[in-house]
Amino acid sequence: MRLKLGVIGAGHFGRFHTLKAAGASRQEFPRVEFLGLADADPARAAQVAAEAGTRAWESAGALMAAADAVIIAAPTAFHHGLGMAALAAGCHVFIEKPIAATLAQADALVAEAAALGRVLQVGHVERYGAGMATLRGSGGVGRPLYMEAVRVAPFRPRSLDITVILDLMIHDLDLVLSLAGADLVGVEAFGATMVSERTDFANARLRFANGAQATITASRASLAMERRLVVHGTEGVARLDFLAREMTLVRKGRGAPLEQLPGHGIETLSWQDHDNLEAEQAAFVAACLDGAPVVVDGVAGRAALDAALRVEAACAG
């Protein structure tokens, strides 16, 4: 069986999804029949379709009617409406992050997908990254006690319809939530507007029900790019530098002995980046065709949105 797949949205992420799916359906994903894309702007849809060598559909509804599954990469404000329409048309649905604009909308999508027996996957692509795979493969550092994430980048005029919290920080919110393994019980945050009309810099401090804590910093108005994650756990510390593709582990009884920290050793691991978007799309195809578990399902997407909205509320005072 081949999965008839389409993309809705021809913006920044929609273009990437279209190029990847169009190429992959002919090469890496022989079980995919890529139908093309649709966008509210016909000229933009035609431009991306020509670049990808695929079809631009006259409407999202027409594409949904022909597809088995769709990737929704439209602006966040349209995620709920398009997602509900796609589910009603019988499609499995992949929605770019954040899952929706509100928790009520997220809940409706989760409930509808469950009622109809359709896959609902949310585009938290960092879960599929080689860095996180290296951390998991290393055995980790025990139960996380404190985590610190930094994700800052120079300004780019995209995704300005949402804050940096829903644009960038939500990636690390999702990662921290998945690592903490407990409910989020407390949020403090500060945010600032720098170059757009919405929050461009934010720092959040999170507390979890199991006692774990985290600090997350995100900026889309930095002079340089940084992407780091530090996990202090019951068995040691992991420091990941995603740009250098390197992780340093300090753990009890493992690695080269450390004189300054008796009973502990140090290891340095590196990785080669793989195509996270391709891995994410492949996981969606496997979930649709084979019933494979959804790594980032609607419930996880809803949890990340809840955390992001709580950070936004704390920033607003």
Domains of the chain, by residue range, sit at 3-126+277-295, 130-273
pTM for this entry: 0.93
* Amino acid 164: pLDDT: 95
Q: What is the pLDDT of residue 26?
A: 67
Q: Which residues pair with 191 in a beta bridge?
A: 202
The Cα–Cα gap between 117 and 287 comes to 12
User: Which tens digit of pLDDT belongs to each residue from 169-193?
Assistant: 999 999 999 999 999 999 999 999 9
Q: What pLDDT sits at residue 1?
A: 79
Vertex 124: Cα angle to 66 and 204 (nearest 5): 145
Q: Do 3-126+277-295 and 130-273 come out as alike in CATH topology?
A: no
pLDDT at 258: 92
**Alpha-carbon Rg of the chain, whole angstroms?**
20
pLDDT at 125: 94
Q: Are the beta carbons of 103 and 309 closer than 8 angstroms? A: yes
283: left (phi over 0), alpha (psi -120 to 50) or beta: alpha
Scored b (16 or more CB within 10 A) or e, 140-173 reads: bbeebbebbbbbbbeeeeebbebbbbbbbbbbbb
Domain 3-126+277-295 in this protein, CATH class: alpha beta
Predicted pLDDT at 29: 72
Euclidean distance between CA atoms 135 and 245, whole angstroms: 12
The Cα 283–Cα 270 span in angstroms is 24
Contacts of 137 (CB under 8 A, 6+ apart): none
Q: What are the 10-residue block averages of pLDDT along the chain, 317 residues in total? A: 95 95 76 96 97 97 98 96 98 97 98 98 95 94 97 84 92 97 97 91 98 97 95 97 97 90 94 92 96 97 98 93
- CATH fourth-level superfamily of 130-273: Dihydrodipicolinate Reductase; domain 2 (3.30.360.10)
pLDDT for 195: 87
